[in-house]
């Protein structure tokens, strides 16, 4: 597993271990309080092969083993939003550890939207599958560290950022400064809301460490990266650096998003992730089956 440590800077600052899922470009995190050893896992991937529709839990197993090796106690299983490009491991981790899992409260609205897309009335019950549905501004503890929840819509209507001391887990808002920002064209997404969320994150102190949800490298940078600071994003972000006006950002983001294909796991992923990563309920033969809407989504615009 490719991983990289970002050490605590002192009292009130967490240790952060980032680890990477290459097939989906997903950045996952083991965050811990140095004083108490209490830890949270954020946005952990459940591996999925879209050709065979088979699942594994390699990253989740690695993360639990790493937490044990470091003498950490898992206190929280957190996701920033129902991911479109990978299945989440939240339910699997909860079953094996007993730690509570959480996500933003607007997952209820996302679930209602996708119940219509999948034609599954009443098919999702976030209050059943997640122990905590966090409101904007809600605070809770990770050992001696305070965790603050920021509603950060745009990529989805219910995405949240977790601010833990001097670290912020900003999911699919920012990408690394040399890449820019994340797409905002999924159902319920909004480039205008994304811009507002980005500005709210940039209002954090300049030294705040920002940990992104995805990285795919660039033409000149092959190795994945996931950490920057507020100051670095203000100065060098490819879409916002130097102070891009809202209207210019929206035009840039919308034109780029119109050319992007859907993630190859998306129509599978939302059915599981709105259940915290549980597969659809088994049918009479004991197997789970995905329901895929035909001709709902249009292909990307031609170049």
Contact criterion met (CB below 8 Å) for 158 and 105: yes
Res. 140: pLDDT tops 70: yes
Tell me if 191 sits within 8 A of 253, measured CB to CB. yes
Residues written for the chain? 303
Name the CATH superfamily, with its identifier, for domain 3-262: Ribonuclease Z/Hydroxyacylglutathione hydrolase-like (3.60.15.10)
Asked if residue 301 has pLDDT above 80, the reply is: no
Q: Residue 299 pLDDT > 90, yes or no?
A: no
Confidence of residue 241 (pLDDT cuts 50, 70, 90): confident
pLDDT at 298: 84
Residue 117, token pair as written in the block: 């897309």
Locate 274 and state its tokens: 């709105």
Q: In whole angstroms, what is the distance from residue 208 CA to residue 145 CA?
A: 15
Whole-number Å distance between alpha carbons of 42 and 212? 11
CA-to-CA distance for 302 and 299, rounded, in angstroms?
A: 9
Give me the mean pLDDT over the 162-171 stretch: 97
What confidence score (pLDDT) does residue 23 get? 95
For residue 78, how many other CB atoms are within 10 A of its CB? 28
Q: How confident is the model at residue 94 (pLDDT cuts 50, 70, 90)?
A: very high
CA atoms within 13 A on the CB side of 44: 29
- What local confidence, expressed as pLDDT, does residue 302 receive? 64
Closest CA to 291 of 300, 299, 283, 301: 283
Three-class SS string for 122-173? CCCCHHHHCCEEECCCCEEEECCEEEEEEECCCCCCCCEEEEECCEEEEECC
pLDDT tens digits along 44-67? 999 999 999 999 999 999 999 999
For 115-120, what is the mean pLDDT?
A: 97
- CB contact at 8 A, 257 and 236: no
**Prediction pTM value:** 0.96
Is the pLDDT at 215 greater than 60, yes or no? yes
Task: Show Cβ contacts of residue 256 under 8 Å, excluding neighbours closer than 6 positions.
Answer: 183
CB contact at 8 A, 60 and 93: yes
Q: Percent of the chain scored above 90 by pLDDT?
A: 96
Q: What is the mean pLDDT of residues 233-261?
A: 95
Could you read off the pLDDT of 5-33 as tens digits, one per residue?
999 999 999 999 999 999 999 999 999 99
């Amino acid at each position: 597993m490719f991983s990289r440590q970002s050490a605590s800077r002192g009292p009130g600052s967490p240790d952060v271990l980032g680890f990477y899922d290459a097939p989906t470009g997903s950045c996952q995190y083991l965050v811990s309080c140095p004083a108490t050893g209490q830890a949270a896992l954020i946005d952990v991937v459940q591996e999925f092969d879209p050709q065979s529709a088979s699942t594994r839990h390699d990253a989740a197993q690695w993360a639990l083993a790493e937490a044990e090796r470091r003498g950490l106690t898992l206190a929280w299983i957190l996701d920033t939003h129902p991911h479109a490009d990978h299945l989440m491991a939240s339910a699997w981790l909860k079953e094996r550890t007993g730690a509570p899992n959480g996500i933003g409260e607007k997952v209820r609205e996302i679930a209602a939207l996708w119940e219509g897309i999948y034609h599954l009335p009443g098919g999702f019950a976030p209050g059943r599958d997640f122990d905590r549905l966090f409101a904007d501004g809600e605070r809770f503890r990770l050992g001696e560290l305070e965790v603050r929840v920021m509603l950060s819509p745009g990529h989805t209507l219910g995405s949240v950022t977790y601010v833990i001391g001097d670290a912020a887990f900003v999911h699919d808002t920012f990408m690394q400064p040399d890449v820019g920002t994340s797409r905002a064209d999924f159902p319920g997404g909004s480039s205008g809301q994304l811009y507002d969320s980005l500005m709210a994150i940039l209002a954090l102190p300049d030294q705040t460490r920002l940990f992104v949800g995805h990285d795919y490298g660039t033409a000149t940078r092959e190795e994945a990266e996931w950490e920057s600071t507020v100051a670095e994003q203000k100065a060098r972000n490819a879409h916002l650096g130097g102070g891009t006006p809202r209207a210019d950002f929206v035009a840039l983001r919308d034109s780029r998003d119109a050319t992007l294909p859907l993630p190859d796991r998306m129509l599978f992923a939302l059915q599981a992730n709105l259940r915290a990563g549980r597969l659809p309920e088994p049918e009479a033969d004991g197997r789970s089956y995905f329901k895929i809407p035909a001709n709902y989504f249009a292909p990307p615009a031609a170049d």
